Amino acid sequence: MTAPAEAARRPLPTGFVDDLRLLFGDRLQLGDAVRLQHGSSETHFSPVLPDAVVFAHSTEEVVALVKLCTAAKVPIIPYGAGTSIEGNTTPVGGGVTVDLSEMNAIVEVNVEDLDCTVQAGVRREQLNEYLRDCGLFFPIDPGANATIGGMASTRASGTNAVRYGTMRDAILRLRVVTPDGRDIWTSRRARKSAAGYDLTRLMIGSEGTLGIITEVTLRLHGIPEEILSAVCSFETLAGAVETVVQAIQLGVPLARVEILDDVQMKAVNRWAKLDYPELTTLFFEFHGSKRYVQEQVEAVGELARSNGGGAFRWSNLPEERSKLWRARHEAYYAAVGLRAGAVGWPTDVCVPISRLAQCINETKKDLEDASIPAPILGHVGDGNFHVIFVIDPDRPEEAAEAERLNGRLIERALAMDGTCTGEHGIGLGKQDWLLAELGQSVSVMRCIKQALDPLNLFNPGKIFPFEGPVI
Amino acid sequence: MTAPAEAARRPLPTGFVDDLRLLFGDRLQLGDAVRLQHGSSETHFSPVLPDAVVFAHSTEEVVALVKLCTAAKVPIIPYGAGTSIEGNTTPVGGGVTVDLSEMNAIVEVNVEDLDCTVQAGVRREQLNEYLRDCGLFFPIDPGANATIGGMASTRASGTNAVRYGTMRDAILRLRVVTPDGRDIWTSRRARKSAAGYDLTRLMIGSEGTLGIITEVTLRLHGIPEEILSAVCSFETLAGAVETVVQAIQLGVPLARVEILDDVQMKAVNRWAKLDYPELTTLFFEFHGSKRYVQEQVEAVGELARSNGGGAFRWSNLPEERSKLWRARHEAYYAAVGLRAGAVGWPTDVCVPISRLAQCINETKKDLEDASIPAPILGHVGDGNFHVIFVIDPDRPEEAAEAERLNGRLIERALAMDGTCTGEHGIGLGKQDWLLAELGQSVSVMRCIKQALDPLNLFNPGKIFPFEGPVI
């Protein structure tokens, strides 16, 4: 992926940096290292440097920044942990990146209401550590130790979504700074509401193009009495997927169910010195009372057996569970580790679960002749899976090959009534695919973008092509 | 509630009715009876007649109608079953009401994917009857046998929301005709997606002001092996609410839990000739395997006992369950039946569950001196409850009293971080309260309305005050 033409950048107006310094003091950073960090993603996108980086400490500061940027017509890009798999935070039009990671206060926890309010920069693991003593947890786990604000912006989900939903479901309300400098709450703290348009859900997944999220109220869950993990290998991919489909139809509330293909299992064994069978493998987690978990395990065990599954390795002890899940948690690094000096080029589709086995099988067939390794893993309960192309960054033909294989994968998913992204977002990487997927709906999205951000200053060039700010 | 000034109405342009007739033939209705039916709600709002009513049979017809109305600048109001508790379908600016109730085809059911696609006019009970043979059900139950399109438009929920969520959660995607005459699907059929703005959720709850919903893809659930209902009276309201709070914290997946206060229980006994204790009462439903339901019942039984609950009356047989739930299902008619010739003036707030007992108790105290009966019932698991003011329609001072009591109720709920409507919507009745609740967020909503419907022809005067179409 080459960076968009730098020609589109305008130099910052005279005096603008001085104004920024007045606001942020030494929390304004202009050095190359910090700008490079904030212009990069964890995947294959080429870095583009923002003109400046500021570290915000309050919503009021974000409001002041937005007013300053609006007056000077300078783009503004919110930034959390910077995972940014689709280049979601790459500042293609330059401007100011506002890093929210220092806004990391847990504002309040309402144990009786099973909710909490946090600043956008709070990280997932930090939150769960804090909540442990209350007997509560926040279930969404996209893998990376992302910020809550970043997860909201990309509508993240991950391994627990099959039971607990995605960020769309996990969020009760947002505090957002809009492009016209308003500081709004999108909703009250009640569990449900029919009061006007659902601005909460409009902002979730809008990747910073409609507003900057500064606080989030989250739904929480009681830590289950029993958590049991299990791993099971299957003779065929279809058998693994069918086991999950049948379990869901039976109403078994699987807390996690992840699929890793044979290529990914090989990578994992090599990376973490494990000895799993190098076959399609399901990783399960069951939550509930001891009795109910036992009932779930029995039901799923029976389904697995009848679908060609092998023996279950299982554990309910925290340390053993971590060991069991290690193969899944390190899958991305294991994949990238297949080649020295390689980078990961991960992609993400989601199809109706009835089409999942077919979609993965056809994809594996398409990958057979590829010159680059391409393990597959996914959140099988949602119909969502990833291919990680492992490319040599110095060989542009490999990126081109990944791009072609990715295109065929997405066409396949769309033909099955699926989506070009289950959880990574559109960012820079999937704008054409968004059009292919939703057609005229994209015009409605652009109409909303135009209405709320007429100057096109909020993370311009994401979701929709970069056209430069309106000047 | 008096109807807005009819002065705001413009006569239909010359030739417009002829154009409508060309499109709809004898499915165009101009008679007073049909117009009155479509201008009325099931509650206390005065009727306002639309200029014409058409019965659409396809999305293509709705597109043609929208183009015709846009060219002639005539308002257009979608209509399903017409429950319209907050006057959501009252055509305050005149225009054409498009009745979608004859678009009642079940388009497809995907058993493996646990989803189905239906036309907007399909009714909830019709759908569940159809699904029974597949072993599936659609859980959202707002009481009325509403259309799926209407339920989507008001973001309805009801008795099962505590376990299965609201229409926000139940819908995978919508087919929508936009004010500029586009026929769009808001999303693909995959379970989750991070592809662009969440137009599905933006349309859900927008009450026909942003688009006309013509088809809906719904998530379904497997019919549980065991369904068990139970009724339990409590010495105190706090004890009843505390039982539910503790059950939710324990992770008991209550499928339904409804609260009826002493006044409502009196009404119900009288209406349906039942003999329940006239105390605060909880109606429960448990779903799951036989063993798991047993475990849930034991857990909740213990909590109820420790919170001053009496004996459980319970049943798992369909007929007995219906009998048990009769008191809840007929609550609205029982309430209105407290006075001969009366009408119901129902209202709806939702607060964080930790504040629910206090909110209901303070409301009951406020109602003590009221001259009109005002039973309370609600979806206690969500923190959502209703007061049904039972007024004499010929005594305007009673409507005024209901309005005052309602105002104090909403102020109380807002002060507890609650919302002015958990599930009825804003319609005509709660526009000022929406502003009180969300302040500047409402400007963002209006900005979206203005962008998508610049002529203000889609259900004008709902959610926001009537200002007439742009001419």
Residues of A in contact with B434 (CB under 8 A): 195-196
Kindly report the CATH class assigned to A226-332: alpha beta
DSSP code, position A369: T
B-chain CB neighbours of A414 within 8 Å are 188
Query: Looking at the complex, does the CB of residue A354 fall below 8 Å from at least one CB of chain B?
Result: yes
Q: How much of chain A exceeds pLDDT 90, in percent?
A: 91
The end-to-end CA distance of chain A, in Å, is: 28
Q: Which residue of B has its CA nearest to A162?
A: B191
Q: What's chain A's Rg over C-alpha atoms?
A: 22
Q: Between the CA of residue A51 and those of A32, A74, B96, what are the distances in Å?
A: 9, 10, 54
Print the SS3 string covering A130-190.
HHHHHCEECCCCCCCCCEHHHHHHCCCCCCCHHHHCCHHHHEEEEEEECCCCCEEECCCCC
How big is chain A, counted in residues? 471
CB within 8 Å: B110 and A352: yes
Candidate from B188, B197, B382 with C-beta closest to A448: B197
Of B201, B382, B448, the CB nearest to A448: B448
The confidence score (pLDDT) of residue B1 equals 41
Contacts of residue B185 in chain A, CB cutoff 8 Å?
Answer: 438, 441
By CA distance, what is B184's nearest residue in A? A441
β-bridge partners, B263: none
With CA atoms as reference, the chain B residue closest to A349 would be B193
Of A166 and A43, the one with more pLDDT: A166
Residue A167 has pLDDT above 60, yes or no: yes
pLDDT band with cut points at 50, 70 and 90 for residue A8 = low
Q: Residue A3: which pLDDT band, with cuts at 50, 70 and 90?
A: very low
The architecture CATH gives domain A339-424 = 2-Layer Sandwich (3.30)
The pLDDT-based confidence of B256 (bands split at 50, 70, 90) is: very high
B422 in helix, strand or coil?
coil
Residue identified by tokens 């213990």 is: B302
Chain B positions touching A178 (Cβ under 8 A) are: 444
| Whether pLDDT at B6 is above 70 | no
User: At residue A183, what is the residue type?
Assistant: D
**Binary contact (A288, B251; C-beta < 8 A):** yes
- pLDDT beyond 60 at B4: no
Residue in A193, A196, A250 nearest the CB of B422: A193
B414 lies within 8 A of chain A by CB: yes
pLDDT digits 0-9 by tens, B30-75: 999 999 999 998 889 999 999 999 999 999 999 999 999 999 999 9
Cβ of residue A447 closer than 8 Å to a chain B Cβ: yes
pLDDT value for A328: 87
Partners of residue B51 on adjacent β-strands: none
Please give the pLDDT value at position A471: 63
Find the mean pLDDT for residues A21-29.
Answer: 98
Give B453's contacts in chain A (Cβ within 8 Å). none
CA of B354, closest CA in chain A: separation in Å? 6
Give the tokens for residue B114.
Answer: 């646990």
- Of the candidates A155, A222, A451, which has its C-beta nearest B249's C-beta? A222
**B421·A245 Cβ contact <8 A:** no
| Angstrom distance (rounded) from CA B230 to CA A156 | 39
Determine, for residues B191 and A251 on separate chains, whether the beta-carbon distance falls below 8 Å: no
Q: How far is B434 from chain A (nearest CA, A)?
A: 6
> Are residues A190 and B112, on separate chains, in Cβ contact within 8 Å?
no
Q: What is the pLDDT of residue B8?
A: 64
pLDDT reported for residue A316: 87
Q: Which residue of A has its CA nearest to B420?
A: A195
Q: Is B352 within 8 Å of A184 when comparing Cβ atoms?
A: no
Q: In what order do the strands lie in the sheet with B115-119?
A: B106-110, B115-119, B212-219, B171-177, B183-185
Of A184, A189, A422, which has the smallest distance from its Cβ to B194's Cβ? A422
Task: Name the residue of chain A whose CA is nearest to B224's CA.
Answer: A251
Confirm or reject contact between B198 and chain A (CB < 8 A): yes
Asked if B224 reaches chain A (Cβ–Cβ under 8 Å), the answer is yes
CB contact under 8 A, A201 and B201: yes
Mean pLDDT of chain A: 95
CB atoms within 10 A of CB B162: 27
Q: Is A289 on the interface with B (CB under 8 A)?
A: yes
| CATH match of B339-422 with 3.30.70.2740 | yes
Per DSSP, A219 falls in state E
pLDDT tens per residue across span B189-241? 999 999 999 999 999 999 999 999 999 999 999 999 999 999 999 999 999 99
Q: Does residue B5 have a pLDDT over 60?
A: no
- In this model, does residue A78 exceed pLDDT 80? yes
Cβ-based contacts under 8 A for chains A and B: 282
Is any Cβ of chain A less than 8 angstroms from the Cβ of B58?
A: no
Asked whether the beta carbons of B276 and B265 are under 8 A apart, the reply is: yes
Q: Starting at the edge strand that comes first in sequence, how are the strands of the sheet with A96-99 ordered?
A: A28-29, A52-55, A96-99, A76-79
CA distance B286 to chain A (A): 14
Q: What is the mean pLDDT of residues A128-132?
A: 98
DSSP per residue over A440-454, as a string? THHHHHHHHHHHH-T
Among A194, A204, A222, the residue with its CB nearest the CB of B251 is A222
Indicate yes or no: CB of B182 within 8 angstroms of CB of A444.
yes
Confidence of residue B328 (pLDDT cuts 50, 70, 90): confident
Of B190, B225, B451, the CB nearest to A451: B451
Burial grade of A313 (CB within 10 A; 0-12, 13-18, 19 or more): middle
The reply to whether residue A251 touches residue B419, judged by beta carbons under 8 angstroms, is no
Contacts of A246 in chain B (CB under 8 A): none
> Which residues of chain A make contact with B115, given a CB cutoff of 8 A?
352
Q: Say whether residue A15 is in contact with chain B using an 8 A CB cutoff.
A: no
Are the beta carbons of A196 and B115 separated by less than 8 Å?
no
C-alpha distance from A220 to closest chain B C-alpha (Å): 10
Residue A387 has pLDDT above 90, yes or no: yes
The mean pLDDT of chain B is: 95
Residue B220 pLDDT: 97
Domains of chain A, residue spans: 106-222, 226-332, 339-424
CATH number of A106-222: 3.30.465.10
B162 has pLDDT over 90: yes
Cβ of B434 under 8 Å from any chain A Cβ? yes
Interface test with A, best of B169, B183, B191 (most A CBs within 10 A): B191
Tens digit of each residue's pLDDT (9 = 90 or more) over A334-369: 999 999 999 999 999 999 999 999 999 999 999 999
The B residues from 122 to 151 touching A (CB cutoff 8 Å) are none
**Are B106-222 and B226-332 the same fold in CATH?**
no
The DSSP secondary structure of B64-110, one letter per residue, reads: HHHHHHHHHT--EEEESS---TTSTT--TT--EEEE-TT---EEEEE
Count CB neighbours of B394 within 10 A.
8
**Is the complex ipTM higher than 0.95?**
yes
Cβ of residue A189 closer than 8 Å to a chain B Cβ: yes
By the 8 A CB rule, do B222 and B114 touch?
yes
Q: pLDDT, tens digit, for every residue of A247-288?
A: 998 899 999 999 999 999 999 999 999 999 999 999 999 999
The minimal CB distance from B193 to the residues A291, A421, A463 is found for A421
pTM of the model as a whole: 0.97
Report strand pairing: A76-79 vs A96-99.
parallel
Backbone angles phi, psi at A364, to 5 degrees: -60, -40
Please enumerate in sequence order all residues whose Cβ is within 8 A of that of B369, keeping only pairs 6 or more positions apart, or say none.
none
